[in-house]
Chain A
Amino acid sequence: MIGEVLRFILFHYCIFIQHRGMGGEFDNMIVVKNMSVSYNGVKAVKRVDIMVGRGEIHGLLGLNGAGKTTTIKCLVGLLKPDYVEELKVFGINVLSSIEYRDFIGYLPEYPSLPDYLTPREFLTYLAKIRHVKTKLKERIDYMLSLFGLDEVGDKIIVELSKGLKQRIALATVFLHEPRIVILDEPFIGLDPEGQMLVKRLLSEIINSGGAALISSHMLDTVERLCGKITIIHKGRTITSGSVKELKNGKTLEEAFFSIIGHA
């Protein structure tokens, strides 16, 4: 137990020193360089490059099957790439260490939740394994209230609506105050109030020096929310840059199809 605590402190101290020394390099909170991934025997990702800077909300766009979800799964450690030159989250190599997971919040495209637990039970357990030590009960109450779940906090999840389940899944993302959030289609099934809340929480993260990577099909939302965008097509990054640059005077939809068309 003591060994574990010492190891934890030492690790975070090393990260702190390493990041201080790295200066500008660590401004890239997420780095993916030349990554290829096979999924179920099919080459889902052929060559993907993504850079997400500190204080940035980065949009990941692409048609169905472009490789967005596969890329995200590699970033959070759910899939292993066949080949990658560099894959770092929070300055930590994803393939050689799992400690970066303390700093990330992740939402999958179709989040599955434990049907037979209540949101309060689930979040409490998750907070414990997420090492949320201080004022755990207050934190859970706050998260339930923040996501409008206080009235259903003690109901079984299976009884709740799709939108409420999405809110629970989102609460798991922000529960441990992550520095980086990686969200795969976060707005599906979420009402305007929920969407507004997510946007506010994302703003708080980037204002505190964090970053966010969001995959979404909602081009208008991406346009309003994200500072930079990476477009993936048929498993390859075909362009990346600020929204303004990519739009080049057009709407994002026109620009997107124009870029995809030329790829």
Chain B
Amino acid sequence: MRKIITILAFKLAQYYGPLRYSNYSKLLQVLLYFLMVTTSLFTAALTRLLLVQNENYILAVVVLSISIILLLGIYLGVKGGVMSLQSEIDFILVSNVKPRNYLLADLIFQLILLNSILTPSLLVFILIISRTTITNLINTIAMFELTILAAVMLSHVIGLRKSLENDRKVNYVAAALAIVFLFPVFLMAVDAVEFVDYTPLPQVILAKNMMGRGVVFDNLAVVVFFLCLLVIYYKTVNHLSSLVVVTPLLKTALVEVGGVKIVKIPSLLSIRVDESVLISGIKLHVIRIIRDRSILMVSLVALIFLMANMAFSNLMGDSGFSDLAVVTSTILYTAFIPAVLSINWGLFERDNLWVFQVVRDGIRRYAVSLMGSYFIVALLFSFILYVIAYIISGGTPFLVLDSLLAAAIPVFSSLSSVFFSFKLPRPGNVFSVSTLLHILMPMIVSVIFAFPVLVVRTSATLASEPPIPLVILLMAYLIGTAYVVYRRVIGVVVSSV
């Protein structure tokens, strides 16, 4: 027991190290929690307002929240499952610490870490949306904690099984589990929300218990689910004779790169001697984005956003907000792309800046091409998502304004992502405060800058037939603002390195 506590203390001290000595980190942490709680409160209140009293819809949203937690567990598992830092890999994983002691310490560590991230966001959201009463409060919190425990155990089991067995086979199982956890979202997407209640899946049962709607069968099902998980967990950990086989999680980026092979790139992207430095630079960044598999992460999230788009569009079908849901979701997703790319840039590329720092004008050229590559990737996904979302939802796009938005958000999110990549502390790992800020800040900034277009877009009369002077004014605003922001970002980036 003492060893477990020692390892846990070491992990916590390492992970939360910056909070111990840096006031800046403390401030960032407070700011982040404030943002998370207020966003949760606002989203929950808005959703509650729009979904009115339909309990099926509310259940579906709570199920969606639980699915997110469980999917996070699968994602962590696929990436390795065990949250080791570099110092642990070098000194603890090679020592004579018993695997089960280390894993138990890691399990507690992950519980603390996931709680610190998910409680201020998802628990607050669930409590508000399900209008939890005081009598049901403990029940809701207990179910929430059980969900996190299940996610961590899933993460360990998948990660360890990947180390012990055939990697591909475990990946298939993980993918199958992910589909199961996404099934209620699929029901929501095809406008069959009422069937969610009858689906005997763990996340539905947990959600019902969380909302105080569980019957004896549901309580029993939760117990059986956890017993099964415990048996699998115990058997997996017992199989492990050494910790060296564990794939550590915290030294990887958002997308796992293990066993990298050269990816054939389209000839369009190959570097030509006679093209400009800017074009070559953009191509190289796009090549890296393809090879480090950031593009896979972006595509995966695109799929999830597309389903969420359709689900929310259906949920809000009666309230006349379906069209707006498609737009909002697409905007948020588009802003998310450069943010994700910038995290992987921070983990893979930031150390290489020395090469360009010692070249005259090297950093400026590098940063401009980085922006260009983010913009191209984001623009591509933005338009694809718009088109698919409109085809599936059968909505009528407002071509001019939607095109303006589809172009404006990639511009501002690319500019702000590059700015924050250089100004924010490097993301230490996928769950650091810095990582979350890398995601949140470009999203907020790009929505703020594109706000005038968004406002016009939300007005059905203006959006359906926008007066030409208004369109010109909006375009002038976007081009002018983008230019000013671009100059400012480049100035700051060049002077900051």
Cα distance A136–B275 in the bound complex, in angstroms? 12
Per the 8 Å Cβ criterion, residues 95-143 of A in contact with B are: 98-99, 101-102, 104, 106, 108, 111-118, 121-122, 124-126, 128-130, 136-137
Which of A111, A125, A128, A156 meets B291, CB within 8 Å?
A: A156
Does A163 reach chain B (CB closer than 8 Å)? Answer: no
Is the Cβ of A77 less than 8 Å from the Cβ of B358?
yes
Is the Cβ of A114 less than 8 Å from the Cβ of B352?
yes
Which of B257, B262, B281, B360 meets A102, CB within 8 Å?
A: B360
Minimum Cβ distance to chain B for residue A238 (Å): 28
Does A78 reach chain B (CB closer than 8 Å)? Answer: yes
Residues in B with CB closer than 8 Å to A156 are 260, 262, 291
Is the Cβ of A117 less than 8 Å from the Cβ of B288?
yes
Is the Cβ of A101 less than 8 Å from the Cβ of B288?
no
Does A172 reach chain B (CB closer than 8 Å)? Answer: yes
- Contact mask A79-109 → B, CB, 8 Å, 1/0? 0000000000000000000110110101010
Minimum Cβ distance to chain B for residue A221 (Å): 23
Main secondary structure on chain B at its contact with chain A?
helix
Is the Cβ of A121 less than 8 Å from the Cβ of B271?
yes
Is the Cβ of A129 less than 8 Å from the Cβ of B362?
yes
Is the Cβ of A158 less than 8 Å from the Cβ of B260?
yes
* Chain B residue nearest to A113 in the complex (CB): B352
Minimum Cβ distance to chain B for residue A115 (Å): 6
Instruction: Given A125-B271, A128-B280, A156-B260, check contact A108 B287 (CB 8 Å).
Output: no
Which of B271, B284, B354, B358 meets A101, CB within 8 Å?
A: B358
Per the 8 Å Cβ criterion, residues 268-299 of B in contact with A are: 271, 273, 277, 280-281, 284, 287-288, 291-292
- Contact mask B347-381 → A, CB, 8 Å, 1/0? 01101101111111110011000000000000000
Minimum Cβ distance to chain A for residue B287 (Å): 7
Which of A78, A99, A126, A155 meets B262, CB within 8 Å?
A: A155
Is the Cβ of A78 less than 8 Å from the Cβ of B280?
no
Cα distance A126–B358 in the bound complex, in angstroms? 11
Per the 8 Å Cβ criterion, residues 29-69 of A in contact with B are: none
Residues in A with CB closer than 8 Å to B360 are 98-99, 101-102
Does A159 reach chain B (CB closer than 8 Å)? Answer: yes
Is the Cβ of A125 less than 8 Å from the Cβ of B287?
no
Is the Cβ of A116 less than 8 Å from the Cβ of B288?
yes
Minimum Cβ distance to chain B for residue A137 (Å): 5
Which of A115, A129, A155 meets B348, CB within 8 Å?
A: A115
Residues in A with CB closer than 8 Å to B358 are 76-78, 101, 104, 106
Q: Report the interface size for chain A: residues with CB under 8 A from the other chain.
A: 34
* Chain A residue nearest to B356 in the complex (CB): A129
Instruction: Given A121-B271, A124-B273, A129-B277, check contact A114 B349 (CB 8 Å).
Output: yes
Is the Cβ of A121 less than 8 Å from the Cβ of B359?
no
Cα distance A113–B348 in the bound complex, in angstroms? 9
* Chain B residue nearest to A97 in the complex (CB): B360
Residues in B with CB closer than 8 Å to A115 are 292, 348
Q: Which of B273, B281, B352, B358 has the most A CB atoms < 10 Å from its CB?
A: B358
Q: Which of B288, B349, B355 has the most A CB atoms < 10 Å from its CB?
A: B355
Cα distance A113–B257 in the bound complex, in angstroms? 16
Is the Cβ of A124 less than 8 Å from the Cβ of B288?
no
Minimum Cβ distance to chain A for residue B290 (Å): 8
Residues in A with CB closer than 8 Å to B348 are 114-116
Cα distance A124–B276 in the bound complex, in angstroms? 12
Which of A104, A117, A129 meets B365, CB within 8 Å?
A: A129
Minimum Cβ distance to chain B for residue A181 (Å): 11
Residues in B with CB closer than 8 Å to A159 are 260, 262
Residues in B with CB closer than 8 Å to A113 are 352, 355
Extra contacts, 15 of them, besides A113-B352, A129-B281, A172-B355 (Cβ < 8 A), are: A76-B357, A77-B357, A98-B360, A101-B359, A106-B358, A114-B349, A115-B292, A116-B292, A117-B291, A121-B284, A124-B280, A129-B362, A156-B291, A158-B260, A159-B260
* Chain B residues in the interface with A (C-beta under 8 A): 257, 260, 262, 271, 273, 277, 280-281, 284, 287-288, 291-292, 348-349, 351-352, 354-362, 365-366
